[in-house]
């Protein structure tokens, strides 16, 4: 399968713990996006990368969140000192450039903070 | 960012056409109209996009009003697999924009057998 993959698919953690999610985009895609989706809402943009450079961060991304994309390939999203409000589906998408290029989404990582 | 308005939910019968409306009265001349859908427990997937002219692809058709203030996504024969949340999104296509998608709540389409 050459689509976007995310790992893990589900994560249950206790409040205060750190968690890290991984996204593997489609190999030739230079743009990678992270979104967060809570129940009943559409996905909300968090941040995006062009190659290895993180070019934009939403104000939703508090300083407990950090994202990296070393070497412009896979990306990780880390949440430190998780809170119950962080419980959501975290979606990764990739695209070939911007503009008209469609974004391809992964299946998401569902985070539950107890 | 320009905003879109969609009905919260719609129902359809299997094998019948479905017309999903979207209002975007504040659309600018540089905004493209994109549609994505999200099946249960999956990430969103691209459906179709257009600027001014009607568009067709293997999944759906997009009818754009002459004044571009509204559009309609048309599924010609709904199947049970088309049950999903459909999002209408306005998107800049300039090279300088970061290109992130701004989702609303979308329309939840139910398909009855």
- For every residue of A14-83, DSSP letters joined together read -TT--EEEEEE--TT--EEEEEEE-TTS--EEEEEEETTEEEEE-TTS-TTEEEE-GGGS-EEEEESS--
In this complex, which of B32, B42, B94 lies closest to A107 when CB atoms are compared?
A: B42
In this complex, which of B49, B98, B103 lies closest to A100 when CB atoms are compared?
A: B49
Give the number of other Cβ atoms within 10 Å of residue B70's Cβ. Answer: 19
Residues of chain B contacting A105 with CB distance shorter than 8 Å: 42-45
In this complex, which of A31, A42, A97 lies closest to B103 when CB atoms are compared?
A: A42
Residues of chain B contacting A90 with CB distance shorter than 8 Å: none
Q: What is the mean pLDDT of residues B20-47?
A: 93
Give the number of other Cβ atoms within 10 Å of residue A25's Cβ. Answer: 27
**Would the CB atoms of B87 and A42 count as touching at under 8 Å?**
yes
Q: Would you call B98 an interface residue with chain A, using a CB distance cutoff of 8 Å?
A: yes
Q: What is the pLDDT of residues B56-94, one digit of tens each?
A: 999 999 999 999 999 999 999 999 999 999 999 988 766
**Would the CB atoms of A108 and B98 count as touching at under 8 Å?**
no
Q: Which of A58, A93, A102, A104 to mutate to test the interface with B (most CBs of B within 10 A)?
A: A102
**Would the CB atoms of A31 and B42 count as touching at under 8 Å?**
no
pLDDT of res. A61: 87
pLDDT of res. B2: 62
| Residue of A6, A19, A16, A4 lying closest to A111 (CA atoms) | A19
Decide: B103 and B89 in contact? Cβ < 8 Å: yes
Residue B100 has pLDDT above 80, yes or no: no
% of chain A residues with pLDDT over 70? 96
Instruction: Say how far apart CA A26 and CA A36 lie, in whole Å.
Output: 20
pLDDT band, residue B8 (cuts 50/70/90)? very high
Q: What is the mean pLDDT of residues A59-85?
A: 94
The string of DSSP letters for B39-106 reads -TTS--EEEEEESSS-EE-SS-EEEE-TTSSEEEEEESS--GGG-EEEEEEEEE--TTS---------
Chain A nearest C-alpha distance from B77 (Å):
24
Chain B nearest C-alpha distance from A98 (Å):
5
Residues of chain A contacting B34 with CB distance shorter than 8 Å: 102
Residue A89 has pLDDT above 80, yes or no: yes
Q: Would you call B3 an interface residue with chain A, using a CB distance cutoff of 8 Å?
A: no
Q: What is the mean pLDDT of residues A89-93?
A: 97
């Amino acid at each position: 399968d050459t689509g976007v993959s995310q790992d893990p698919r589900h994560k249950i953690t206790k409040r205060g713990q750190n968690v890290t999610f991984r996204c593997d985009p489609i190999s030739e895609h230079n743009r990678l996006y992270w979104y967060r989706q809570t129940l009943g809402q559409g996905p909300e943009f968090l941040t995006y990368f062009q190659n290895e450079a993180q070019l934009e961060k939403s104000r939703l991304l508090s300083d407990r969140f950090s994202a990296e994309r070393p070497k412009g390939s896979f990306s990780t999203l880390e949440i430190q000192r998780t809170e119950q409000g962080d419980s959501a589906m975290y979606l990764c998408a990739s695209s070939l450039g911007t503009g008209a290029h469609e974004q391809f989404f992964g299946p998401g990582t569902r985070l539950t903070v107890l | 960012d320009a905003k879109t308005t969609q009905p919260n939910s719609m129902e359809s019968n299997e094998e019948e056409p479905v017309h999903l409306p979207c209002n975007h009265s504040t659309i600018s001349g540089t905004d493209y109209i994109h549609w994505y859908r999200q099946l249960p427990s999956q990430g969103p997937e691209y459906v179709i996009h257009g600027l001014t002219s009607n568009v067709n692809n293997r999944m759906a058709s997009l009818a754009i009003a002459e004044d571009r203030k509204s559009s309609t996504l048309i599924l010609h024969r709904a199947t049970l697999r088309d049950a999903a949340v459909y999002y209408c999104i306005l998107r800049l296509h300039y090279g300088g924009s970061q290109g992130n998608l701004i989702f609303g709540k979308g329309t939840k389409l139910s398909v009855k057998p």
